Structure formats: C-alpha cells, structure tokens
Structure 1
Amino acid sequence: MSREPASDTPMTALYETIAGDEDARVCSDIPEEACNAQPINFFVHLVSNTLSKVGDELASARLVLAWMLGALGAPAAFAGFLVPIRESGSLIPQLFVAAAIRRQPVRKWFWVLGSVGQGLAVALMAVVALTLEGAAAGWAILALLIVFALSRGVNSVASKDVLGKTIAKRRRGTVMGYAASAAGLATLGLGLYLTLANLEHAGVGLFAALLAAAAGVWWLSAAVFAGLHEHPGATEGGGNAVSEAIRSLGLLWRDRDFGHFVLTRALLMSTALALPFYVLLAEAATSGSFVTLGLLILATGLASAVSAPIWGRASDRSSRQVLIVSGLIAGLLGIVLATASWSGMAPALDGWVFAVFFFVLGVSHAGVRLGRKTYLVDMATQQTRAAFTAVSNTVIGVLLLVGGLFGLLAQLAGTEFAILLLALFSLAGAASAWRMREI
C-alpha cells in the first residue's frame, strides 16, 4: 500500500526523483511514522554511508596503512596482519554485539558510536605516523586497527537493522548503490592523485594527512546519522550476549533459507579474496610499475562509481539474480586471466590491460556486496534482522582467516592457480545463488 508523507517538500520531491518511479513512497514493511520520515532518512543514509565509505578509502588497510608501515620502517610481518585484522576483527565479534544492540529500541546511536570510534582510531594512527618508527609503530597501528575493526563491527550490525526499520523494501538497494557510487568517485580522485603524485619521495606527513582527513570524514558521518528519524522498535532477543550468540548460531540450520544464504555468501567471498592476487600478477608482469598500481586504484573507484547504482536498482528487483550474475562474471574472468598467464601472455600485458581486468572484477565484487546486503535485509524481519546479520558476518569473519591459506597456495603452486581456484569458487557461488529462494 502507499502512504503519503505528512507534507510535500523539496526534499520529498528530490527523493521521489531519485527513487525513480511513481510509487516512490510505497512503504510495505515499515511503520507509518517511519514511512512519513522516509524521504529525509533516505538522504541521511545516503550521505552518512557515502562519508563512511570515503573514510574507508582514505585509511585503506590494503593501501594507505601498508605503505605507511613501510615508510615508518616497520618489519614487513606487520603489513601481513593488516587485512585479516581489518576484516575479521570487524566481523567475528558481531554475534556478541547484536544482542546488546537488540536490547535498545532505538539503535542509531550504536552506528554513531561506531563511527566516532573509527574516527578516533585513525586519528591516533596519524599521531603514530608522526611520532613512532619501526616495530613500535607497527604494534601501535595493529592495536589501533583492532579498535577500528571492533567499532566497524558495531556499525555493521546497527546499520542493517536501522536501514530495515527506516527504509522500505525496493529502496534499500538504491540508497546503498548511490552511496557506493559516490564513494567510488572519491576513490577515483584518490587514485588519480596517487598516480600523478611523486609519492616515492613523500614523507610520512602525507599518510598522517590522509588519516586525519579520514577521521574528520567519519566524525562528520556520525553527526549526519545522529539526525536520522528512528522510531522505537522491537527488543526481543536482547538477552545475555554469549547465550544469545550461541543460540543464534542455530539459525544456520533452523532456518534453511538463511543457512543457504550464508553458504552462498561464503562461496562468493572469493571475489574479495581474488583482488590481491590480481594485483600480484599485475605487479610481476609490469615489473612493479607504480603507474600500474595507480591505474588499479583508479579502476577500483571507477568500477564502484559506474556499477553500484545499476547493481543497487537491480538488487531491488532481484538481489538473487544480482548474486548469480556477479558470481558468473568473477568466475569467468578468473579463468580467462589464469589461462592467459599460463599461456605466456601475461608479460605482454601492460598496466592498462590489467586495469581492465581489475575493473571487471571490481564490478563483480560490487554486485556481490550489494546483492548479498539487500538479500539479507529483505529476507529478514525486524525481529531477526540483527541476528541474521551478526551470525552471517561472524561465520564469514572466521572463514576470512582461513582464506589466508590462499596466499600459501599461491606461493606453492603459483598466483595463477590461486586465481583459478577462487574463480571456481565464484562459479559455485553463482550456482548456489541460483538455487536460493527468490525474495
């Protein structure tokens, strides 16, 4: 059914234009008071999520922090812990955080707290960049990254729960898609700067500036999200965190649809795990050209900016089909690249060709991210959404740690073999998504 907001405003008109169709104010699964506030909440989600994604890029563990540790003279072993801590540290604790969040009828403040925590962590990293060197700097960065990851975990659980309370179905994928696109444009600008600037001679002040900017962006994001119009919701399932966590794990086999979704997400995790191996192959083939690295960063930003709105709208129609298509793209791409490299073609490929491969993989990964987020939010109810999110993220967090074995595999059998195996996992993920129930 369609329920009209209390009054027509320029923001409402802009919202209807962005929503893109005549039933832009349809609210099928949120209360009437949330429906009335949906136009302003749409833009609060859009701006705050865009800012948080920009902060992610400015303080990227895969790029900025790794480069900074090298510039500070930290042992190389520290850089190897950055991505596992960044990803798993934000996912695994969520199962225990969800119960505490569930006990509160208004949950936006958890998102605000998480953003403030992330900003504080990277601000202190900037201080580390200016004051410490060597192993001391490495330990300090890893400790702060744990704080960052835990804060991000709080954000993740709260964001999906609040999104489900304040934005109706058929609008959630759209708002996430536009946010990812805007952040992708910002990444594009960062990649262009890194490509053109002479960073080989830049001091640690550059990294401190990037981290300080990231802190400011996260704090601004928190301030924007504080203005969200969220009405109190159900608080069932907010008991003891540990017992609730153990009980929630049973959802994997008690709810077959949810268990199937987690299996599909685990298989499609291969699109994220493949990214560094594409970089390794490009680095080896182009003799470590810094221009190639800049082109890969540009390709990442362009992939998100171009594909995210399309994936977002497609997810609102069928997030299951988005997962199928994006898994197929990643699988076929990996097979092509591995085969080309084994045939001796890789050394003949320049940075631009690798950037095209990286762009297509980035498009696929964006589809997986938006498709699985939209599917989870739409599949769950207000009573189960936080638990579904926490269980899913915890399982994936554990598997990400195991995913580090692909690095050993690449060292023993070659980068191409790791890419090929991950491509097969992507195809398996597409097949699993094909068998999921349409939401």
Structure 2
Amino acid sequence: MSSRSEAPAFAHRAYAILTNDDEGRICKDIPENACHDQPGNFMRHVVSLGATKTADGLADAKLVLAWLMGALGAPAYLIGLLVPVREAGALLPQLAIAGAIRARPIRKWIWAGGSVIQGLAVMGIGLSALFFEGATAGWVIVGLLSVAALARGACSVSYKDVLGKTVSKSTRGTATGTAGSISAVLVLAFGAALAFGILPRTVASIAAVLTLAGGLWLFAAAVFSTLTEEPGATEGGGNALAVAREHFALLGQDAQLQRFIVTRALLIATALSPPYLLAVAGGSSGISAAAGSLGPFVIASALASILSAYVWGRLSDRSSRQVLIAAALLASGTLLVSALVAMLAPGWMALPLVPAILLFLVMVAHQGVRLGRSTHVVDMAGAERRASYTALSNTIIGLVLVAGGLFGVLAHWLGAAAVLLTFAGTALLAAFVGRGLEEVQQEG
C-alpha cells in the first residue's frame, strides 16, 4: 500500500507554472489514483533529480575526477578508465537486475537505495584523495567509481519506471528538464568559483566538493522516498538469465525498439567526444593541459545545461523523435567544425574561447540526446514494458561504450581530430536513422 500526503500549496503553484496546468488535470498514461498526487510527485522528482544532477556535475568523471587523479599523480591509463567505468558500469548490469526490480511493486526504494550507495562512494573518493597518492589513489578512486556506477545502473532502471507511474506522459520531459536546468545553475557557480579563484584548485578543496556531492545524493534519496507511488505490475520478475533472454527476445518483436537502440548507439559520440575535444585544445600537451583550465570547462558544460535542458525537455514532450534528430545534427556539425579547425588551423584551438564554445555546443547536443532518448523510451514502451526496454537498451549501449575504447587506439595512431571527424559521421548517421522513429507522443 502507498501512503498519501497532501503536497504543499507552493508545490501546486510551481507545478502549474512549469507545466501550464492550472488545475492539475494532466493525467496521461499513469494510474488514475496517481492523478491526485501528481503535483507533489512532480516537484519531488524535480528536487531529487536536481540534487543528483548537481552531484553528478560536482563529481564529473570527465573533468573533476580526471583533474583530481592527475593532481594525485595517478598513471594515465587509470585516468583513461574513468569515463568507460562511469558510463559502461552504469549500463551493463541493468539487464541482469531489471528482473529483480520488476518483482517489486514499489520501486522508489531501489532508486533511493542506489542514491545512498552513490553518495557514500563519492564521499569515499573525496576521503581517499586526502590519504593516497599515485597508482594507489588511482585504483581506489576507480574502484569506488565502479561501485557508484553499479548503483547508478539500478537507479536508472527503476527511475524510468517510477517516473512513468507518478508523472503524466505530457510532463515527464518537463520534470527532468527542469531538474537539469536547476542543477546546471549550481554547477555553473562551482565552475565560476574555480575559474575566479574563489575556490582554490587544490586536492583538499576538490575533496570537500566531493563530500558535498555525496551529501546531495543522500538528500535526494530522502526526498525521493516520500513519493506517493502506486504498486506496479510484478510480472517478469525472476531469474536474471531467464529475464535477460526474454528481454533480448523483445528485439525481434519491435522494429521501433531496434531503430531506437541503433540511433542511441550512434549518438554515443556526444558522450565520448569531450575528452578528444579537450585533447585537441591542449595541443601537444594533450588532455592534461586542458584539465588545467578546469573552471572554464565546467562553466561551458553547465551553461549548456542551463540554456538547453528545460527547452529540450519541453520539446521532448512534444516530439522526442525531433529532439533526437536535432541534437544529432547539432553534434555532427559541431564535431565536424572541431575536427576541421584542429587539422587546418590548430592555432585557433589555443585561443581560450574557441574550445570552450565548441565544448558548449557539444554539451547542448548531449543534453538533447539525454532528454530525448529518456523521454522517447518511456513514452514508446508503455507501462508494461517500460523497465524492460530501458534495461535492454542500456545494456546494449553499455557494450557499445566498452567497444568505444577502441577510439583511443584511433586517436593514438591518427590523432584526436580524426576521432572527432569519425564522431561527426556517426552523429549524422544517427539523424538519418532517427527519422524512422515514430512520433510516440502523438495520441493513437
């Protein structure tokens, strides 16, 4: 049974402003009993997701953790493991755990528990930075990051399902987009504090920031646990291998699912390209030189979220298909320009604003990909297959991300600019494949 609590008046007002629903009557594709609780649940999603997104920005593996490991003298090969461990570690286990999650009628506790584990793991990273150096520090950080990534995987599977049960179909993108915009403002403040010397770029200060990030995950878990969630269907829970076979069988039953996964796989360019963009910005010194400008890069990433997350979210509620196509085209164009500038006019990449602007545009596209794909899979799957579709697509993308490590070999032989050029091509192909996706937000 779920317990109900009346949402405060300010939650109703904020909900009405954000969704243009003055009377709280938007109730599409959620249980009838959940309509009454939607304004309060909507705001709980915004607050808890905003807290975890802020924590993600404060503990960004591509920038913050990479700088921290470099400052601690960790070997380059361990720094290179950060993004694959962070991304693939969160995706690969999802198919195995989806059955166990499916067997639970109330799934908010999975997300809350996963957030607690992430918070404690990131606090551990901050603490380890104060006591270890060199390879030891590197292995401890990578190990704790892998724990956080596994917990993140459980959160990802359960979140899509809880979102689908507690927030209406026409406002889900708005909820996630609003949370992204709020968190981006806070991460922007973090980047500005670094850039202007308010927060010293020292191991001790970054360790303190990571401790704060861990606390935000714990806060988010507490807020999310207060959601009013109706019990969901438990069919499909059971043995992990049996469930995995059933999930992979879905690929042969749904051509739209196949197309969505291919589109999403091609769009990993937006996730993998920032380190290579930073490498060409660092010139002969590579990514280590770019990491020295930690503040400006954090600012560029945060500004991209502030200016685009809410807009992408609102647009995704209208057409997640069009959002994916638009984000793919933006990414392709930006990466193409980045590659050409790096190859034909490398001196321009040494100008402070050029790599920051390019990174900004890539991150705007990445926000579109993230919000578009999240909204699309939730609205495409429906209540009965939502968790299965999420777990299956995430597991396959996890495998693709592992294979994405081969781009490092390409960069070693042909240079980072060649990788950016390749990514420009895959993003363009994603736009072409994405044209065949259905408009899942349209009724009927």
TM-score, length basis structure 1:
0.94
Preserved contact between residue 283 and residue 292 of structure 1 (Cα < 8 Å): no
Q: Aligned in 2, Cα 1:78/1:30: closer, same or farther, shift over 3 Å?
A: same
1:359 to 2:360 alignment: yes
Structure 1 window deviating more from structure 2 (327-336 vs 14-23): it is 14-23
- Residue 419 to residue 91, structure 1, CA distance change in 2 (3 Å): same
Structure 2 residue aligned with 1:411: 412
- Per mean C-alpha deviation after superposition, the further-off stretch among 355-364 and 315-324 is 355-364
1:274 aligns with 2:311: no
Query: Partner of 1:18 in structure 2?
Result: 18
Show CA shifts across 1:372-420 (max 9, x none). 1000000012211111000000000110011111121122112211111
* SS of structure 1 residue aligned to 2:233: coil
CA distance in 2, matches of 1:90, 1:406: 20
- What is the match of residue 64 of structure 2? 64
Assess if the C-alpha contact under 8 Å between 1:195 and 1:294 holds in 2.
yes
Within 5 Å, give how 1:328-367 maps onto structure 2.
328-344=329-345, 346-347=347-348, 350-367=351-368
CA distance in 1, matches of 2:338, 2:73: 34
How many Å separate the matches in 2 of 1:39 and 1:21? 10
State the match for 1:122 in structure 2: 122
Partners in 1 of 2:95 and 2:347 — Cα distance? 43
* 1:291–1:351 Cα contact (<8 Å) kept: no
Conserved 8 A contact 2:67-2:294: no
Shift of residue 72, structure 1, vs aligned partner: 2.5
- Counterpart CA distance in 2 for 1:232 and 1:365 is 33
Q: Distance in 2 between matches of 1:172 and 1:119?
A: 25
**SS of the residue aligned with 1:36?**
coil
Q: What letter is aligned with 1:218? A: W
Aligned partners of 1:238, 1:91: CA distance in 2, in Å?
Answer: 19
Structure 1 residues 361 and 348: alpha-carbon distance in aligned structure 2, compared to 1, 3 A threshold: closer
Partner of 1:302: 303
Aligned to 1:47: 47
- Pairwise CA distance, 1:316: 0.3
5+ long unaligned stretches in structure 2: none
TM-score, normalised by the number of residues in structure 2? 0.93
Residue in structure 1 matched with residue 84 of structure 2 by the alignment: 84
Task: Tell whether the 8 Å contact from 1:99 to 1:239 is kept in structure 2 after alignment.
Answer: yes
How far apart, CA to CA, are the structure 2 residues paired with 1:324 and 1:142? 34
Q: Which residue of 2 aligns with 1:133?
A: 133
Structure-1 separation of matches of 2:104 and 2:129: 38
Q: Spell out the pairing of 1:31-430 with structure 2 (5 A cutoff).
A: 31-197=31-197, 203-284=202-283, 288=289, 292-344=293-345, 346-347=347-348, 350-430=351-431
Are residues 7 and 213 of structure 1, via their aligned partners in 2, closer, same or farther at CA, if it must alter by over 3 Å? closer
Superposition misfits of 4+ residues, deviation over 4 angstroms: 5-8, 21-24, 289-293
- Look up the equivalent residue of 1:253 and give its one-letter code: G
SS in 1 for 2:434: helix
Q: Which amino acid aligns with 1:385?
A: R
Deviation per residue, 1:276-296 (Å, 9 max, x gap): 111111121899367754322
146 and 373 in structure 1: CA distance in 2 versus 1, 3 angstrom threshold: same
Find the aligned partners of 1:105 and 1:400 in 2 and give their Cα distance: 31
Give the stretch that moved more between structures: 57-66 or 214-223. 57-66
2:7–2:40 CA contact under 8 A, matched in 1: no
Q: Secondary structure at the match of 1:235?
A: coil
Counterparts of 2:136 and 2:62, CA distance in 1 = 20
| Deviation digits for residues 308-358 of structure 1 (CA, Å, limit 9, x no counterpart) | 111010000000000011101111122222222322254465111221111
Structure 1, 26-35 or 57-66: larger mean CA deviation: 57-66
By how many angstroms is 1:237 displaced? Answer: 0.5
C-alpha separation in 1, matches of 2:292 and 2:75: 25
Deviates more, 1:396-405 or 1:120-129: 120-129
Q: What SS is found at the alignment partner of 1:380?
A: helix
RMSD between superposed Cα atoms in Å: 2.1
- Describe the SS at the equivalent of 1:193: helix
After TM superposition, give the deviation of residue 363 of structure 1 in Å.
Answer: 0.9
The residue type paired with residue 369 of structure 1 is: R
Distance in structure 2 (CA, Å) of the matches to 1:289 and 1:382: 45
Is the Cα–Cα contact under 8 Å of residues 187 and 298 in structure 1 kept in the other structure? yes
Aligned partners of 1:285 and 1:346 also within 8 Å: no
Quick one: distance in 2 between partners of 1:279 and 1:187?
Answer: 19
Alpha-carbon spacing, 1:341–1:7, altered in 2? closer, same or farther (3 Å): closer
Cα shift readout 1:212-247 (whole Å, capped 9, x = no counterpart) = 111111000100101101011111110211210122
The answer to whether the 8 A contact 2:52-2:216 is kept is yes
| Structure 1 gap segments, 5+ residues each | none
The answer to whether the Cα contact below 8 Å between 1:49 and 1:221 also exists between their aligned partners in 2 is yes
Aligned length: 434
How many Å separate the matches in 1 of 2:68 and 2:341?
34
